[in-house]
């Protein structure tokens, strides 16, 4: 009985490595395909959970999308579903010559300062239907409120602050 030559053993080893690499690439491409087909649509359709149902508005947030912006500074998207249609008068300018806009819901990207009890709107989108549905009627990445403001207990800002800051500061 003769032993296979070193060349034959090396070529078999290379063939095994090639088939292992092909299997890895196959798993990788299947994983990427799955992420693109399933993962991205789920991320785009964030699932908001209700925080509070106040007199004029229901407040929801996407709890898996909370980011740290600094010491005791947290950011997240919130959804405001208003019980009555809201009016928004955009600042006059060359791109806004028409009448005010009506909206039923709003998504805001907000920052909360847990130490100082402050709330700032960083960006906003307004929608004609509840749950942030319908074609966007207005959006802005400028600070809507200009300055951080104190969050009062019975406001939507207060509901968001209590939710985000639990465990960071005593309630």
Q: Is residue 170 part of a domain?
A: no
pLDDT number for residue 100: 78
CA dist., res. 86 & res. 47, Å (int): 23
Do 14 and 74 fall into the same domain? no
**Higher-pLDDT residue of 5, 117:** 117
Count how many domains the chain has. 2
Do 87 and 53 fall into the same domain? yes
Q: Is residue 159 part of a domain?
A: yes
**DSSP calls for 18-32:** HHHHHHHHHHHHHHH
49: pLDDT strictly greater than 50: yes
Do 61 and 39 fall into the same domain? no
28: pLDDT strictly greater than 60: no
Do 105 and 30 fall into the same domain? no
* pLDDT mean over 50-75: 86
* pLDDT mean over 49-60: 92
pLDDT in tens, 95-142: 555 677 899 999 999 989 988 889 988 889 999 999 999 999 988 876
Across the chain, the runs of DSSP E, i.e. the strands, are 49-53, 57-61, 67-70, 73-88, 101-113, 118-127, 138-140, 149-150
Q: Is residue 171 part of a domain?
A: no
Do 30 and 53 fall into the same domain? no
Domain that holds residue 125: 49-92+99-165
Do 107 and 136 fall into the same domain? yes
Q: Is the pTM of this model over 0.75?
A: no
* pLDDT mean over 69-88: 89
């Amino acid at each position: 009985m003769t032993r296979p030559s070193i060349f034959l053993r090396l070529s078999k080893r290379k063939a095994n490595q090639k088939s292992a690499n092909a299997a890895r690439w196959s798993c990788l491409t299947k994983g990427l395909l799955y992420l693109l087909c399933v993962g991205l649509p789920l991320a785009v359709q964030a699932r908001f959970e209700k925080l509070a149902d106040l007199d004029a508005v229901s407040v929801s947030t996407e709890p898996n999308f909370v980011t740290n912006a600094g010491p005791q500074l947290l950011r997240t998207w919130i959804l405001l579903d208003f019980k009555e249609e809201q009016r928004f008068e955009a600042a006059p300018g060359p791109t806004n010559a028409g009448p005010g806009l009506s909206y039923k819901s709003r998504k805001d990207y907000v920052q909360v300062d847990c130490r100082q009890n402050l709330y700032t709107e960083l960006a906003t989108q307004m929608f004609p239907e509840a749950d942030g549905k319908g074609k966007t009627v207005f959006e802005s990445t400028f600070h809507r409120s200009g300055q951080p403001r104190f969050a009062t207990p019975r406001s939507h800002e207060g509901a968001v602050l209590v939710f985000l800051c639990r465990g960071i500061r005593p309630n």
